[in-house]
Structure 1
Amino acid sequence: MAAREKLILLPGMLCDARLFTPQAEALSRTHDVEIVMIDSADSIEALADHVLERAPERFDLAGLSMGGIVAMAMAGKAPERILRLALLDTNHLADAEGRDKIRNRQIDAVGKGDMRRVVVDEMKPVYLAARNRSDQALLDLLVDMAMDLGPEVFVQQSLALRDRGDQTAALKAYTGPTLILCGEEDMLCPPERHREMAGLMRRAELRLIRDAGHISTLENPHAVNDALSSWLGAAVSPSA
């Protein structure tokens, strides 16, 4: 029996493996699925190096939000190792002008013990599509993941996002099958940004997910699973 392809999933900021629970359950039937945390450094480049160091020689790669940013950096560093690339609810550009002031204020607040308020009041309310904002179980899960990771990870990830570079060149250079996926109601990384990303790439398919915001994997898992399954079936070049 041939060995199954490795699929690496990278969660977003303040999220852990629970972000991909529906995907891991569905895709593990056909792939060797590993969810790799991005909580070991305070720069996107260092996080990309960390994942590449522990990854096999060839693998499929999917990341959501900050995980997608790390995935893009990995594609820029080692495109020949990534058979297929999926970028979910993410952003290929550097942090927006003035965003550093917000991140610095949040870092300061978290350092003073105010993390739960920052997470609950400033971050999570804009994550979900309209119909999901009353889903208390989902809201509680998002807060639980953040609080379980804790203040140190919050600061590391905030610094990495604040100081990140533009990934346009990495997207233009990557030639493997690529899924660009976004919740239709994603206010943090809106559909138009994903259209831009798809337009930069040679083999990109854009999929917009109904009834989903920034946390598409949990808001509409069946639609996301269908899109990922189709992407994983795309042919790769013989050289890969």
Structure 2
Amino acid sequence: MMCDVRVFGPQLGALSADHAVMFAPTTQGERMEEIASQILGWAPSKFALIGAGMGGAVALEIMRRAPERVTRLALISTSPLAETPQQASAREPHIVAARSGRFADVIGKEMPSSWLADTPHRLVVSDLVRDMALHLGPEAYVRQARAMQRRRDQQSNLRKFNIPCMILCGDEDGHVPFGKQELLAEMIPNARCEVVVGAGHLPMLERPEAVNEHLASWMRMALVLR
């Protein structure tokens, strides 16, 4: 959420050596269904799919709508759950603040540094997150917040997945803890759950080399005949 292409910068550089790689923004709709439909319109007929955080929620919606087009799936720092009424209502003050000229104050509340691993790189990653959010702006934030509030629970769809799946998570994720991501992996047939040590909610930036290695391994996983 509120990240641009830079959130996957290290992975784009690594994967593009051997694969055609595309980054899909998630800022153009107020519902997951809208965002997923737009991405499906851009994407090739068959593709591997990586989603992190809110992007993971979008990836799950893509899997619900067009599973036949996805050849493999990697979910990073992702929850399949819908927001509780309490979580959804907690976004309202942030939306009001963003619309009333206090967007800079909202950024730190939406992505606090406590979600990241306590490493020497935490401040650098936090500054990058803030810069990405400021670049996207308050209108994009409001659309994404609405989409997150309205997202559906995807748990019932997970057991239908029959493609190579990897769940990737940081061992110090302060937002989606390991236990929840381990449960997500258990609900997907034959999914692999890999833990990135020394990373929090954004392992792509916190431990890019480790994430690159995991994704390269994921790309080598044998395809499933359907």
Report TM bin, short chain.
over 0.9
C-alpha displacement at 1:117, in angstroms? 1.1
Alignment match of 2:207 (pick from 217, 220, 226): 220
**CA–CA distance in structure 2, aligned partners of residues 56 and 166 of structure 1:** 26
- Count matched residues: 226
Tell me which amino acid in the other structure corresponds to 2:211. V
**CA–CA distance in structure 1, aligned partners of residues 80 and 111 of structure 2:** 20
C-alpha displacement at 1:122, in angstroms? 5.0
| Paired residues of 2:30 and 2:143 also in contact (CA < 8 A) | yes
Q: Deviations over 1:165-203 (max 9, x none)?
A: 101122111110000011111111111111111111112
1:211 match:
198
Q: Deviations over 1:70-110 (max 9, x none)?
A: 00110111111100000000110001340122101100011
**CA–CA distance in structure 1, aligned partners of residues 192 and 62 of structure 2:** 19
How does 1:44-63 map onto structure 2 within 5 Å? Answer: 44-63=32-51
For the residue of structure 1 that corresponds to 2:119, the secondary structure is helix
Alignment match of 1:144 (pick from 118, 131, 134): 131
For the residue of structure 2 that corresponds to 1:173, the secondary structure is coil
How does 1:76-225 map onto structure 2 within 5 Å? Answer: 76-121=64-109, 123-132=111-120, 135-225=122-212
**CA–CA distance in structure 2, aligned partners of residues 17 and 102 of structure 1:** 27
Matched, 1:232 2:219: yes
C-alpha displacement at 1:46, in angstroms? 1.0
**CA–CA distance in structure 2, aligned partners of residues 128 and 135 of structure 1:** 6
Q: Write out the 4+ residue segments of structure 1 that deviate beyond 3 Å after TM superposition.
A: none
| Paired residues of 1:124 and 1:143 also in contact (CA < 8 A) | no
**CA–CA distance in structure 1, aligned partners of residues 110 and 25 of structure 2:** 23
For the residue of structure 2 that corresponds to 1:131, the secondary structure is coil
**CA–CA distance in structure 2, aligned partners of residues 166 and 122 of structure 1:** 21
| Paired residues of 1:183 and 1:208 also in contact (CA < 8 A) | yes
Tell me which amino acid in the other structure corresponds to 2:221. A
**CA–CA distance in structure 2, aligned partners of residues 136 and 51 of structure 1:** 32
Q: Deviations over 1:35-60 (max 9, x none)?
A: 11011101111111111111111100
Q: Deviations over 1:97-137 (max 9, x none)?
A: 401221011000111111111112553323311115x6433
Q: Percent identity of the aligned residues?
A: 37
| Paired residues of 1:124 and 1:142 also in contact (CA < 8 A) | no
TM-score by length of 2: 0.96
C-alpha displacement at 1:33, in angstroms? 0.6
Matched, 1:72 2:33: no
Q: Which runs of 5+ in 2 are unaligned?
A: none
The CA RMSD over aligned residues, in Å, is 1.2
Q: Which deviates more from structure 2 when the two are superposed, residues 167-176 or residues 114-123? A: 114-123
For the residue of structure 2 that corresponds to 1:85, the secondary structure is strand
Tell me which amino acid in the other structure corresponds to 2:197. R
* CA 101–231 in structure 1, closer or farther in 2 if over 3 Å, else same: same
* CA 137–187 in structure 1, closer or farther in 2 if over 3 Å, else same: closer
